Structures are given as C-alpha cells and as structure tokens.
Amino acid sequence: MGEERWCLVVSGQEAEERRRRLLEAGLLDRRYRPRQEGGTVLLPLTDEFPGAVRREFEAVPERPNLPRHEIVGGIAIMQENDPAGAGRVLTSRPSLHTVLFPETPVEGEYRTRRFAVLAGVPATRTRVTEYGLRFDVDLSLAYFSARLSTERQRILAAMEKGERVLDMFAGVGPFAITLARKADLVVAVDINPAAVHLLVGNITLNRMNNVVPVLADAGHLPRYGFRPFDRVVMNLPMAAPRYLPEAAALCRDGGTIHLYALQEREGEHLPLIRGVTRGEVLERRVRTYSPGKWHAVYDITLER
C-alpha cells in the first residue's frame, strides 16, 4: 500500500483541529496523505510522538512549485500580481475556475476589496463547502475567510444545545449558520446590505430556520430590546474591540463573548476587556496577519 510511518490516530470529529495543531508545531508530515481507518483518521508524523503508532501511508504526488495563494471555493487569491504563476495555480487544481489578485486591502465600512482577474473566468462569486455547509460568497461585495473554519468548529464544540447566539458582524453567515446547528436562535447582524442579501440566501441554502438576519449597525443593537444572549461572536478583527461595551450589554451574566482582534503584543486588549468584565479570559493566537501582527481571539466569560 505504501510506506510505514509514525502517525497519530484521532477521531473524525477532532481530526481537523489536531491536524492544524500538528502542522503549526511542524509535526505533520505533509509528504504523506492522512487516511481514514474505520471511524478514525490517521495523521502522519515527522517523527515518533507520545501515543503514536506505525501505519502505512501513500505519498502525496509531487506538485509544481506554486506561488502562495488562498483557496475560497473555486477561487484562488494570489499574494502577488503574477499572471504566469496564476496560470500554474489554475491548471494545478481542477476545482478552480478563477485566480484573483487583491488590488486593495480590506477597507471601508463594508470590509471589501477590489480584485484583478489573473486567470480563468472573470468572477468574484463562488460557493464554499465547509463541514457539510454551503456558502455563496462574492469576494468583491462581502468579506469571507476560509481560514477561520476551525475556529467556527471550535466554538460549535464548546456550545451547549439550545443557546441564544448573537453574531455581531455576520457577513455572509459562516459563523451564524455553523453555530445554528446547536443553537436555539442565532441573530446574525451586518451593516453591509450585499452581505445580508448573501446571508439570507445562505440561510435558505442550508435550510436553517433558527437564524434571523438583521441589517443594522452593531453599535445600535443594545437599543433594540433583545433578551440577553448566551454567546456573542465578534469577528471584525480591525474594529471589534471598540464594540465590546455593546457586546457586554447584550450578553447575559456568565455568558461568553468571542472577541477577534488584530494585535502586536500578547494581551494587548486585556485592559479594555477588564473594563467590562471580571470574568475569566482565555487568549489564543489564530493566525499570522502580517509581520509583527497577528489575529487573536479572546474567549471572555462575562461577569459584571
């Protein structure tokens, strides 16, 4: 079948999170394909590891040297304006239909970017499949990050059934619709009309009847008279911290706020958090954003 390697045997539910952690630690051997064995997933390791066992794996076929890019559904987003490299990316992945280059950073009230088409079909719209859910996305109209898929699953795993959830910056609905699998109610808010239009379509696409889309400025939400929520998601990394007082006003005592923020030092937003709660705060690094700056999440237990 292949070559025998050390591997870690994990359940299917935890496979993606464990794969990511091994990758970050440099312990995942990317030369070999992970594989399923019964209800478990076998993750090949670069070396022996506590709890590791020996199994056979197939080697990953060598791929051409491709420029760095991010995959969103059928679209690849390049980091460099490199049409020749875009052509190689397009031909290397049959599932792709378009390769884009962002001409602007994420900007403005609606968090959008302008793109140039480097290869393939001139389009910014695509469908993303994530853990059995489907999301229609238009990258020119609403922000979407596939890199937060494991974060969405992490929060879903931490939830109790029947929670009331508020997604303050919902975009096209990846957090809201994912968490609706356990929630009693999810109120999904965004200020961008195009994002809310896509969100409504994605609610229908995934047959969710417990997600309520709201077109509104998150800063105005406390005046709408909502009953306190058990969990509040704040995924607006460049601006979410300034909305923390509103999030605290909307969250029940003992509830949880997930604050996503960009920062340049550990605990950068703790003073602001301590202004609204005495509760437990857990800080995690999600991913690198730029040199010296990273995307962090603070899991906050609200205690007034």
Q: Domain containing 33 — which CATH number? A: 3.30.70.2580
| Residue 101 shares a structural domain with residue 20 | no
Q: What is the mean pLDDT of the chain?
A: 92
- pLDDT tens-place string over residues 213-225: 999 999 999 999 9
Q: Residues with Cβ < 8 Å from 294, sequence gap 6 or more?
A: 262, 263, 285, 286, 287, 288
Residue 114 and residue 165 in one domain: no
If we measure between CA atoms, which residue out of 242, 235, 238, 230 comes closest to residue 301?
230
> Does residue 134 lie in a domain region?
no
Q: Is residue 138 part of a domain?
A: no
Say yes or no: 160 and 253 in one domain.
yes
Chain-centroid distance, C-alpha 168: 15
Please check whether residues 50 and 87 belong to one and the same domain.
Answer: no
Q: What CA–CA distance (Å, rounded) separates 180 from 186?
A: 6
Do residues 191 and 275 share a domain? Answer: yes
Q: What share of the chain is helix, strand, coil (3-state, %, to 5)?
A: 25, 35, 40
Count of residues in the chain: 304
- Distance between CA atoms of 220 and 57, rounded to whole angstroms? 54
| 278 within 8 A of 257, measured Cβ to Cβ | no
Same domain assignment for residues 47 and 73: no
Q: Let me know if residue 265 belongs to a domain.
A: yes
Residue 21: domain span: 3-57
Would you say residue 268 lies in a domain? Answer: yes
pLDDT for 146-156, tens place per residue? 888 889 999 99
Report how far apart, in Å, the C-alpha atoms of 121 and of each of 82, 98, 101, 116 are. Answer: 16, 5, 13, 11
pLDDT at 99 over 70: yes
Whether residue 255 is found in the same domain as residue 293? yes
pLDDT by residue (tens digit) across 124-179?
Answer: 999 999 988 999 999 999 999 888 888 999 999 999 999 999 999 999 999 999 99
- If you search the block for the tokens 């800080």, which residue do you land on? 283
Q: In CATH, what number is assigned to the domain containing residue 96? A: 3.30.300.110
Please indicate, yes or no, whether residues 107 and 166 belong to a single structural domain of this protein: no
> Which amino acid is residue 267, in one-letter code?
G
Domain count, the chain: 3
Give the domain CATH number at 171.
Answer: 3.40.50.150
